[in-house]
Amino acid sequence: MEVDGLGLLIDCGFPPHVLAARLSAVGRSWKSVSAVLLTHTHGDHWNSYTLEHLRRLNVPLVAHPDHHAMLAARAEHEPLRRAGLARPFGNGWFDLAPTLSALPIRVPHDSEPTFAFRFESRDGAGQSGWAVGYVSDAGHVTSELTRLLAGVDLLAVEYNHDVAMQRASGRPAILVSRVLGKNGHLSNAQAAELTRAVAKSGGPDGLRHLVQLHLSRDCNTPELAARAGREALAACAPAANLITSSQFTPTAPVELVSRPGRPPRPAPPAIQPALPGMETDVESSVR
């Protein structure tokens, strides 16, 4: 996510050179990254070499205190802590910059705690601009998640697997049970349920973009995921832009513009001050 003056990388599961190539493919570089925000501590969401790279570049790692505690056992985390780059977020809204706020939303997953996020921009007068929902890993859709993502302009959510393909995959039974369990991953049908609810909450001018994340290589296909997503959008957001992401190549940037008349952002209302070193004044645009 890029807001003028702030480049936010959500998770860092690839090594530095792979991330550099992915950033380069969309016209960016490591110099574009102002901070990394961690969703949870499963090994595909952070990389030890990348933690070392963050320290070399003086890029903060923003994570829940429990995440920092878990990573403290790693030698790569200590230099970040000593340099003041291990930044915590709490349970309510916090500011990443003067015009960008984030709300962590706890979700069920077998890496405790795991968070989805709602991001909102605002102008200099404090008026809301655009909103983004981001759900990379979740075992099932909760009412709280649905409520807190209501009315977003862009929803990025995992469409991880097709249930029939998962059951017929030949994978070990314990793995299939884990993925299909309440703390596993969202199926196409579950993600479509969330998409449908979010689209409905925003009305005809609400949800503008659906980005499908975290597709299983073995137990899903882009065609199945896209079909589920398009069917979910059909009733309330038929004109929404549907993007099915790939594990192998970055998607093209999506630009958002402010939507006038946006309702107040959802509770919880707690606001934390901008993270130290991230007080740069930014304008309300995203690429």
Q: Is 92 exposed, middle or buried (0-12, 13-18, 19+ CB in 10 A)?
A: middle
Residue that is last in its domain, among 55, 71, 89: 89
Question: Could you give the CA distance from residue 179 to residue 185 in angstroms, rounded to a whole number?
Answer: 5
Q: pTM score, two decimals?
A: 0.90
Same domain for 202 and 141, yes or no, is: yes
Q: Is the domain of 9 the same as that of 115? A: no
Separation between Cα atoms, residue 92 and residue 271, nearest integer Å: 6
* 113 in a structural domain: yes
Tell me, what's the pLDDT at 263?
Answer: 67
Do 19 and 146 share a structural domain?
no
Residue 169 lies in a domain: yes
Angstrom distance (rounded) from CA 118 to CA 259: 16
Q: Residue 257 falls within a domain, yes or no?
A: no
Residue 275 confidence (pLDDT): 52
Same domain, 118 and 67: no
pLDDT on residue 244: 98
Cβ proximity of 174 and 48 under 8 Å? no
Q: Closest by alpha carbon to 254, among 194, 209, 193, 187?
A: 209
Q: What's 185's DSSP letter?
A: -
The three-class DSSP label of residue 114 is strand
Question: Do 113 and 72 have their domain in common?
Answer: no
Say yes or no: 111 and 214 in one domain.
yes
Q: How far is 232 from 199, CA to CA, in rounded Å?
A: 8
- Per-residue model confidence (pLDDT) at position 4: 74
**133 plus 197 within the same structural domain:** yes
Domain assignment present for residue 269? The answer is no
Q: Which of 74, 89, 104 is the last residue of a domain?
A: 89
Candidates 37, 44, 46, 102; CA nearest to 73 is: 46
**CATH code of the domain containing 156:** 3.60.15.10
Q: Does 191 reside within a domain?
A: yes
Check whether residue 208 and residue 97 sit in a common domain: yes
Question: In a 10 Å sphere around its CB, with 0-12 CB exposed, 13-18 middle and 19+ buried, how is residue 98 labelled?
Answer: middle
Tens of pLDDT along the chain (287 residues) come to 998 789 999 999 999 999 999 999 999 999 999 999 999 999 999 999 999 999 999 999 999 999 999 999 999 999 999 999 999 999 999 999 888 999 999 999 999 999 999 999 987 666 678 999 999 999 999 999 999 999 999 999 999 999 999 999 999 999 999 999 999 999 999 999 999 999 999 877 789 999 999 999 999 999 999 999 999 999 999 999 999 999 999 999 999 988 776 667 777 634 444 554 544 433 333 33
pLDDT at 31: 97
Clarify whether residues 126 and 197 are in a common domain.
Answer: yes
Answer yes or no: is 3 within a domain: yes
pLDDT the model gives residue 272: 47
Residues 277 and 253: their CA atoms lie apart, in Å, by 26
What's the pLDDT at 269? 39
- 188 and 199 in a common domain: yes
Give a yes or no: residue 12 inside a domain.
yes
Q: 64 and 111: one domain?
A: no
Are 153 and 208 within one domain? yes
Boundary of a domain, candidates 89, 106, 132: 89
CB-based burial label for 169 (10 Å; 0-12, 13-18, 19+): middle
Q: What is the domain count for the chain? A: 2
Give the model's pLDDT for residue 283: 31
The pairing of beta strand 100-107 with beta strand 93-97:
antiparallel
pLDDT of residue 284: 30
Q: What is the pLDDT of residue 268?
A: 60
Q: Which domain holds residue 161?
A: 92-250
Does residue 81 form part of some domain?
yes
